[in-house]
Amino acid sequence: MDTGILWRVALVQVLAVALLSLLLGVILPHSFFETWGWLTGPLAWLACAWLTARIVGLPEPPVLFRAVLAGIPSLLFVLIGLHWLGVIAVIAIFAVACAYLPRPPASADPAARPSA
């Protein structure tokens, strides 16, 4: 397990979720989330996970798969009325799952190659 990736994934995901939540909360009425929260919540979570993968430099498909798996326990927290506690727990699960992903080789990054 790469603890450096664990902390970077956790930090980026926390920031992405917090910023997107604030943005959506400002532009959309509360009633929107009462009606469409079941759809927008998971989609926002996946969008944040995709952004996290891009920023941290991890491959998107396995990160998104881990985001889906990590998101499943959040259903329990939503059902018992502890949505924000669920967000914290799920970010921790997501970060740990991503910390086991192999890092892509530096040579695979086109920006890392010296220009001729």
Per-residue pLDDT of the chain (116 residues; tens, 9 = 90+): 878 888 999 999 999 999 999 999 899 898 888 888 888 888 999 999 999 999 998 999 999 999 999 989 888 888 888 888 888 899 999 999 999 988 766 655 555 555 55
Task: Give this prediction's pTM.
Answer: 0.81
Rounded to whole angstroms, the maximal C-alpha distance in the chain is 59
Closest by alpha carbon to 70, among 62, 79, 80? 62
Helix (H) or strand (E) holding 27: helix 3-27
